Homo-oligomer: A and B are copies of this chain.
Amino acid sequence: MFTILPIKGLFEQIEGFYCDGISAGLKPNNALDLGFIYSDTLCDVEALFTENRFQAAPLKHYQMYEKDFKTNFLLINSKNANAMTGKKGIEDINTIFSSLNYDVVNPIMSSTGVIGNPLPIEKIVKGANSFNLKAKNAYNLSKAIMTTDAYEKNCMYEVKLEDGSSFKIGAVAKGAGMINPNLATMLCFICTDANVPKKDMKEALKLNSKTTFNAISVDGDTSTNDTVLLLTNKKSNTYNKEAFFEALRLVMHDMAMLMVADGEGAKKAAAFEVKNAATYEEAEKAAKALSNSLLVKTALFGEDPNFGRIASTIGASGIKSDENRLVISYNDVIVYNKGELVFNEEVEQAAAKVLQNDKFKITCDIGVGEYDFTAYGCDLGYKYVEINADYRT
């Protein structure tokens, strides 16, 4: 038995972690654009990275450390991804870390923003050298890592175990555009004081990514920079595997749901539930096809219960299916039932009403097996085009 409850504040509440976000002049108008996480002891660290073949320089830099390295410092900038920047990208990171006016061990960098431009080293060094390493302000950090995000993403929980001991776990994240299954321009930094064994860190991240970060999509693109980092200073001196896995799942789920609801210009968050597919892989494939379909996304934007696009997308996904077994519903409103034309005026009005909500579920019962998967997506409207037609400017 254990309880997981949200608590006030963010991961600066964990003893030994310090963090902040400042303006280093990368973004205009003194917006926050550079942040850090500092730990007063060395932390175990584990990461998940993008599946994009062209990993950005900070991801390569991280992977140059030896296995099971420990760290006490993480530097994060927005506005510039330091991706497709060749050898210079990695050299720049080393230059930055060797120019700091304080000591850190195995420092990690993380970047997000435009691809293909060299990092503004001087601004970053100047900013990093102005950090107050005793600051405790994860909220500012969550602001500093935003790009086209409309709001900050963060959460914080305390986990109480049966023996009265407890540990804490919290995260800050950024999402918005380029979000797709298998991580995509998303950064998520998770700090905990749980006494979690190294091998459980990796296992828990991998397991929970399947149903959280890898189940969401904004635009089907996968970025060069996606990173999920888990840091633990183990200061709680307590651990329970089941409780930790569930708490981490909750943190990752929270962050994933905030990301999908904040898809660039999105007004609506949809859960695409595929039920009773022939295999787990087919359930996943069809659910992700729905969350990525432009025609489905624009129909959601138009609040149009055009179930033909849902059906067509299931058919186009190539999974085992039969239109005489398929049932499609918008929340509880059945709009297509095994080949019967149930879509009369009354049903249409009820379905349209579902789509007027900010959040809803679209269910496709394939009816040929017993495997389910839920993917999460959003609508696509004018704002998405506006944001992406001139993101660099």
Contact = CB atoms under 8 A, between A and B. Distances in A.
Interface in A46-70: 51-55
Contact of A388 (B223, B302, B389): B302
A311 B393 CA distance: 19
B341 A52 contact: no
A294 to B, nearest CB: 4
A366 to B, nearest CB: 10
A308 interface: yes
A381 interface: yes
Given A294-B388, A308-B84, A385-B301, A319 B220 contact: no
Nearest to A323: B54
Interface in A310-329: 311-319, 321, 323-324
Interface stretch (A20-28, A111-119, A208-216, A240-248): A111-119
Nearest to A114: B308
Contacts of A389: 298-299, 301-302, 304, 381
A137 interface: no
A180 to B, nearest CB: 8
Nearest to A180: B316
Nearest to A185: B312
A302 B83 contact: no
A136 to B, nearest CB: 35
B83 A312 contact: yes
Nearest to A319: B53
A311 to B, nearest CB: 5
Nearest to A88: B341
B385 A385 contact: yes
Contact of A118 (B83, B323, B341, B384): B341
A106 B221 CA distance: 46
B221 A316 contact: yes
Interface in A72-106: 81, 83-88
Contacts of A381: 385, 389
Nearest to A313: B221
A220 B116 contact: no
A219 interface: yes
Contacts of A308: 81, 83-84, 114-116, 224
A86 B337 CA distance: 10
A167 interface: no
Given A115-B311, A301-B385, A295 B221 contact: yes
A392 interface: yes
B385 A86 contact: no
Contacts of A87: 339
A54 B324 CA distance: 10
A240 to B, nearest CB: 38
Interface of A: 51-55, 81, 83-88, 114-118, 177-178, 180, 184, 219-224, 292-295, 298-299, 301-302, 304, 306-309, 311-319, 321, 323-324, 336, 339-341, 343, 380-382, 384-386, 388-393
26 contacts: A51-B318, A53-B314, A53-B316, A54-B314, A83-B311, A84-B307, A84-B308, A84-B311, A84-B312, A86-B324, A86-B339, A86-B340, A86-B341, A88-B341, A115-B306, A115-B309, A116-B307, A116-B311, A219-B294, A219-B295, A220-B220, A221-B295, A224-B308, A224-B315, A294-B294, A304-B391
Given A54-B312, A117-B341, A299-B389, 5 more contacts: A84-B312, A180-B316, A221-B313, A294-B380, A299-B388
